[in-house]
Amino acid sequence: MSIADRRWMLAVALLGYLVTAWAWALVDPLVPLLRGPLGLSPLQQALVVAVPVVVGTLGRIPAGALADRFGGRVVFLLVAAATLVALLELAVFGHRSVPGLMTGAVLVGVAGSTFAVAVPFVSAWFPGPHRGLALGVLGTGLCGSAIGGLTAVRLAEAHGMVAPYLVTAVPLVAFLALAGSVVRDAPRPARPPGQPGQPGQPPGVRRRLATALRWGTTWHAAAWYSALVALFVTFSNALPLYLANAYDLAAARAGDLMAAFVLLAVFMRPVGGRLADRLSPPRPLAVALGAVTVATAVQAGTPPVAVVVFGTLPVLAVGLGIASTAVLAQIGATVPADMVGLVVGVVTAVAGVAGFVSQLLMAASFDRFASYGPALCVLAAGAALATASAVLSASRPAVGGSGSVGGSAAGRRGGAG
The pLDDT assigned to 75 comes to 93
Q: Please state the rounded mean pLDDT for residues 60-84.
A: 92
The pLDDT assigned to 402 comes to 40
Give the residue ranges of DSSP H helices in 183-250.
205-214, 216-234, 239-247
The pLDDT tens digits for 260-316 are 898 899 999 999 999 999 988 999 999 999 999 999 999 999 999 999 999 999 999
Q: Please state the rounded mean pLDDT for residues 391-414.
A: 48
Contact 172, 84 (CB under 8 A): yes
Q: Has residue 381 got a pLDDT over 90?
A: yes
Q: Has residue 26 got a pLDDT over 60?
A: yes
E-strand spans in 282-390?
none
Closest CA to 107 of 126, 125, 75, 82: 82
Burial class of residue 97 in the structure, from the number of CB atoms within 10 Å of its CB (0-12 exposed, 13-18 middle, 19+ buried) = exposed
Closest CA to 324 of 230, 415, 408: 230
CA dist 156 and 165 (Å) reads 9
Question: Which architecture characterizes domain 1-181 according to CATH?
Answer: Up-down Bundle (1.20)
Q: Which H/E stretch holds residue 98?
A: helix 98-108
The pLDDT tens digits for 80-99 are 999 999 999 999 998 889 99
The average confidence (pLDDT) of the chain is 86
Q: What residues does CATH 1.20.1250.20 cover in the chain?
A: 1-181, 205-417
The pLDDT tens digits for 202-244 are 567 788 888 889 988 899 999 999 999 999 988 887 787 888 8
Topology (CATH level 3) of domain 205-417:
Growth Hormone; Chain: A; (1.20.1250)
Q: How far is CA 2 from CA 123, 183, 186, in A?
A: 15, 14, 11
Q: Has residue 401 got a pLDDT over 70?
A: no
∠ CA 185-189-190, rounded to 5°: 130
The pLDDT assigned to 406 comes to 32
Q: Has residue 4 got a pLDDT over 90?
A: no
Q: Has residue 51 got a pLDDT over 60?
A: yes
Q: Has residue 403 got a pLDDT over 50?
A: no
Q: Has residue 28 got a pLDDT over 60?
A: yes
CA dihedral 35, 36, 41, 45 (to 10 degrees): 0
The pLDDT assigned to 405 comes to 32
Indicate if the alpha-carbon torsion angle 224, 225, 230, 234 is positive or negative: positive
The pLDDT assigned to 383 comes to 96
